[in-house]
Amino acid sequence: MKYSNRALFHTVMRYLLLTSLIAANSAIATENGGDISEKIILGWIENIYLQPYGLKAKAKLDTGAKTSSIHAKNIEYFDRDGERWVRFQFSSNTKLKEKKYKEGKSKKVVTIEAPLTRSALIKRHKHTSMERPVVTLPFTLAGKEYQAEFTLTDRSKFLYPVLMGRRFLKHVAIVDPGNTFLRTRTLRPTEDQPEQEAQESTEQNKNNKADDAQ
C-alpha cells in the first residue's frame, strides 16, 4: 500500500511538472510570436495593399530585418491638432524618376500623411547613424487587415518598395524562402486578379537575381 501511495505521489508530481512546463512554453511562444499553428505561410515576396488608397505594392518579407520600412520621398514634418505628423510621397515603382514626384501629377505617386509614431536611429555601415521617422500604416496582406510600424526611407536603390521585418512577421507568418506570391490571389478579388498575379508569380520565380535586393 505504501508503494502504491508513493507511486501515485510521483505520478501526480510528474503531471504537475509537465503541465507547468507546457504552460511556461506556451507563455514563451506567445511572447516570442504566438502559436505557430495560427500563422499563415507566405512567400518571400508578397503583394500588400496600402489603405485607404488600395494601392498595390510588392513587399519583401525579410526575417533578417528587425523593423519594416517603406519607400518614401520628399519627407516633411508638420503639426496637426497639437500632434507631430509626417507627409511623404510613395510610389510602388522605386525606379520612378524624380521629376514625376515633383510634378505631382503621376498616378503612380500618392501623398501619404500619418502621425509620427516615433523616431528610429538607423546605423549605417561606414557612415554616421541617421534618425528616421517611423509611422504606423494600415494595409491588407493575404486578405487580412493589419497595421505595422514602418521606417520611412528612400528605397530607390532597392527593387521592392516595402520591406516587412520580423517585428511584424513573428506574430503573423512563416516565410517560405523558396516561393513568392503564395497568398496574393486572396488580397483583392477582381476578375483579372488571378491571371495577373499568376503571371507575376511565374516571372518572379524565373528571376531570382533579385533575391538579394531589398
* Residue extents of the structural domains in the chain: 1-32, 36-212
pLDDT at residue 123 is higher than 70? yes
Helices (DSSP H) in the chain: which residue ranges? 2-32, 98-103, 166-169, 193-206
Report pLDDT digits (tens) over 153-176.
999 999 999 999 999 999 999 999
Average pLDDT over residues 194-205: 45
CATH class of 36-212: mainly beta
Residue 146: what residue type? Y
More confident residue, 100 or 143: 143
Quick count: other Cβ atoms within 10 Å of Cβ 34? 13
* Nearest partner of 43 among 60, 19, 64, 18, judged by Cα: 60
pLDDT at residue 80 is higher than 60? yes
pLDDT at residue 199 is higher than 60? no
Average pLDDT over residues 71-93: 96
* Nearest partner of 116 among 160, 66, 82, 146, judged by Cα: 82
Average pLDDT of the chain is 80
Predicted TM-score of the model (pTM): 0.72
User: 195 pLDDT band (50/70/90 cuts)?
Assistant: very low
Lowest mean pLDDT of 53-67, 74-88, 199-213, name the range. 199-213
Residue 3: what residue type? Y
